[in-house]
A and B are shown apart, each in its own frame.
Chain A
Amino acid sequence: QKEVEQDPGPLSVPEGAIVSLNCTYSNSAFQYFMWYRQYSRKGPELLMYTYSSGNKEDGRFTAQVDKSSKYISLFIRDSQPSDSATYLCAMRKSSGDKLTFGTGTRLAVRP
């Protein structure tokens, strides 16, 4: 069993839809959680960075962490074709520790 599980998709939605992307993990020691967006042939770009449980909002993006369920989510409101990319969740146990990534979910937003 992988430490971090993420549905690879692809996920296809119409423009304007609310998108929900999720990761589950098995190691309760993870405390820092990140979402990266990766366009084709580019490096991962940090979208959201959260510590421990709770919600964090930034524009159209909301990250949720539920440590009791070992489940994290990224919500994208009013999705745009420019949001079409692969979304990677990542997490680590302590400050400075190495990241453990999910395999990424490919998202396509149709105009």
Chain B
Amino acid sequence: DAMVIQNPRYQVTQFGKPVTLSCSQTLNHNVMYWYQQKSSQAPKLLFHYYDKDFNNEADTPDNFQSRRPNTSFCFLDIRSPGLGDAAMYLCATSRHRGEGVDQPQHFGDGTRLSIL
């Protein structure tokens, strides 16, 4: 089945130690998103790629970076994780080809990040 796959499902890292989360998709969607979701809160958009174009949200800390080497893969890099970065990180994809030609976002199952 076509889907959005996130690895790993659970990640533990030490305070200040860089960590990379990965997302892959078989939907051939051109837009990929990264969200941060803390307990009992709504997902918060960090950034997204529209094709190869990177779009950062204004309030996303510089500590968070992203790479999209090809259509299928996208990575979230946290350069120096702090205790406040412990959360579920969700990857989502959608297709957008101009007004009226799009699909809603489809989410992966997330990576739960813990900081020691």
Distance of A49 Cα from B102 Cα, bound (Å):
12
The 9 closest A-B pairs by CB, nearest first: A43-B107, A101-B42, A96-B96, A95-B102, A43-B109, A49-B104, A44-B107, A103-B42, A43-B110
Q: Is the CB of B109 within 8 A of A42?
A: yes
Min Cβ gap A86→B in Å is 8
A-chain residues with CB within 8 Å of residue B94 when the two chains form the complex: 96
Interface residue count for A (Cβ, 8 Å)?
Answer: 21
Min Cβ gap A78→B in Å is 25
Distance of A95 Cα from B30 Cα, bound (Å):
14
- Give which listed residue, B4, B41, B90, B102, contacts A96 with CB less than 8 A: B102
Distance of A83 Cα from B45 Cα, bound (Å):
26
Give B contacts to A, CB under 8 Å.
4, 6, 31, 33, 40-43, 45, 48, 50, 88, 90, 92, 94, 96, 98-102, 104-110, 112
The B-contacting residues of A in range 25-68, CB under 8 angstroms, are 32, 34, 36, 41-46, 49
Give A contacts to B, CB under 8 Å.
8, 32, 34, 36, 41-46, 49, 88, 94-96, 98-99, 101-104
B-chain residues with CB within 8 Å of residue A49 when the two chains form the complex: 104
Q: A98-B33, A98-B45 are in contact. List 8 more A-B contacts (CB 8 A).
A: A34-B104, A41-B88, A95-B99, A95-B102, A96-B50, A98-B48, A99-B45, A104-B42
